[in-house]
């Protein structure tokens, strides 16, 4: 029951939000909002697992900021203002024109978003791919889930900056499959995603142990970790935002459905962090990072598919993530039972 208390508020908000949509726009709109809510949860469930580990570094005040104002940033900043900026740059239109299309001409806005999609996917895909690579290419890592694979990846981590080289080579190979006019934009967007991931995690690591670094550095380390959480959440949200426009062009429904889903994920993040669930479910973090890597690769593959007017189904992306989390969750429970049995006299 103590776990349920974390979810009561987001469940109540989801019920209230769906009821309001039902009353104002009818059954069809409520159903679309519910589908968008499920889309956000399925795509971001692994995000909650990774966020929970980062959230443990933050002070209670910073945690509250992440769970309140931190919700406004990804919902309105990433899902609305972010694509708006990308649409403006890629479509060659002003911010006002892009905003007018978003508010009054959703079909035109979807066309502009479709034009910006390869740049958005390159940024988010490279950011998430680097999260995956930096987690497993770590020679200090001793806990392994898929041991034959992860031991080799950990050993490869002794080679300095190998993960950066691999990511850049993949981006370069990807760009060769694109039209000449698009290659430069995709390369720039991908490199920006890579650099932001490196910069945010490196700055957080530079502060070191908060107890040794002092109050001022601890606060700085927490702020950098908070920035990293927002960037990670943004990368997850980009794919969901594009997928949402494939479901509906109603911007109000998109913001409502994805916003309610983000609220649910944030409460789940808080539960995992405060209950120290990741210390008990020791392989869950591994499964989440595999899911992140899969999402990053699928987003990059989506750039090529976009040129052939195809896309990776959002249900497939969510299903892969949930399957990897379920497998790691099951193995964590079995490991816990074996460890408990070994300690019995």
pLDDT class of 216 with cuts at 50, 70, 90: very low
- Per-residue pLDDT of 224-265, as tens digits, reads 666 777 777 777 677 677 777 767 777 788 888 888 888 888
Using alpha carbons, select from 26, 31, 80 the residue that is nearest to residue 240.
80
pLDDT, tens digit, 9 for 90 and up, residues 131-159:
899 999 988 888 899 989 999 999 998 99
CA angle, 81 as apex, 134 and 44 as ends, to 5°?
40
pTM of the predicted protein model: 0.83
Concatenating the DSSP letter of every residue in 73-96 gives: IIIIIIIIIHHHHHHHHHHT--HH
Collapsing DSSP to helix, strand or coil, 261 comes out as helix
Over residues 326-340, the pLDDT tens digits come to 999 999 999 888 877
Contact yes or no for 233/82 (Cβ under 8 A): no
Round to whole Å and give the CA distance between 266 and 248. 24
CA quadruple 314, 84, 115, 167: dihedral sign: negative
* Whether pLDDT at 198 is above 70: yes
Entry field: residues in the chain? 345
Residue-by-residue DSSP string for 102-160: HHH-HHHHHHHHHHHHHHHHHHHHHHHHHHHHHHHS-TT----SSHHHHHHHHHHTTST
CB 102 within 8 A of CB 80: yes
User: Once rounded to an integer, what is the mean pLDDT over residues 60-64?
Assistant: 74
Number of domains in the chain: 1
Give the C-alpha separation, 311 to 305, whole Å: 6
Range of the domain at 45: 4-343
Average pLDDT for 158-166: 91
Q: Output the 3-class SS for 6-71.
A: HHHHHHHHHHHHHHHHHHHHCHHHHHHHHHHHHHHHHHHHHHHHHHHHHHCCCCHHHHHHHHCHHH
Task: Return the structure tokens found at 324.
Answer: 């990897």
């Amino acid at each position: 029951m103590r776990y349920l208390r974390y979810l009561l508020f987001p469940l109540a908000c989801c019920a209230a939000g769906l009821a309001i949509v039902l009353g104002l726009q009818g059954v069809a709109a409520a159903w679309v909002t519910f589908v968008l809510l499920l889309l956000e949860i399925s795509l971001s469930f692994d995000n909650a697992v990774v966020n929970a580990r980062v959230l443990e570094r933050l002070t209670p005040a910073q945690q509250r900021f992440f769970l309140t104002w931190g919700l406004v940033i990804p919902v309105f900043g990433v899902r609305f203002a972010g694509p708006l900026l990308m649409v403006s740059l890629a479509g060659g239109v002003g911010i006002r024109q892009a905003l007018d299309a978003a508010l009054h001409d959703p079909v035109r806005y979807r066309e502009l978003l479709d034009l910006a999609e390869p740049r958005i996917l390159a940024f988010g895909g490279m950011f998430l791919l680097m999260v995956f690579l930096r987690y497993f290419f770590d020679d200090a890592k001793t806990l392994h889930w898929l041991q034959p694979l992860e031991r080799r990846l950990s050993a490869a981590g002794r080679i300095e900056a190998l993960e950066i080289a691999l990511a850049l080579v993949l981006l370069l190979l990807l760009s060769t499959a694109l039209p000449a006019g698009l290659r430069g934009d995709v390369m720039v967007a991908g490199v920006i995603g890579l650099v932001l991931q490196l910069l945010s995690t490196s700055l957080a690591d530079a502060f070191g142990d908060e107890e040794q670094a002092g109050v001022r550095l601890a606060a700085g380390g927490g702020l950098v970790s908070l920035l990293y959480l927002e960037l990670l959440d943004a990368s997850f949200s980009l794919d969901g935002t594009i997928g949402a426009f494939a479901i509906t062009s109603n911007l109000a429904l998109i913001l409502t459905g994805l916003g309610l889903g983000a609220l649910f994920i944030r409460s789940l993040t808080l539960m995992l962090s405060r209950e120290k669930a990741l210390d008990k479910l020791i392989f869950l973090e591994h499964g989440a990072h595999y899911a992140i890597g899969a999402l990053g690769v699928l987003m990059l593959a989506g750039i090529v598919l976009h040129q052939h007017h195809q896309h990776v189904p959002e249900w497939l992306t969510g299903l892969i993530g949930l399957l990897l989390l379920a497998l790691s969750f099951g193995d964590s429970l079995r490991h816990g039972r074996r460890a408990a049995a070994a300690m019995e006299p």
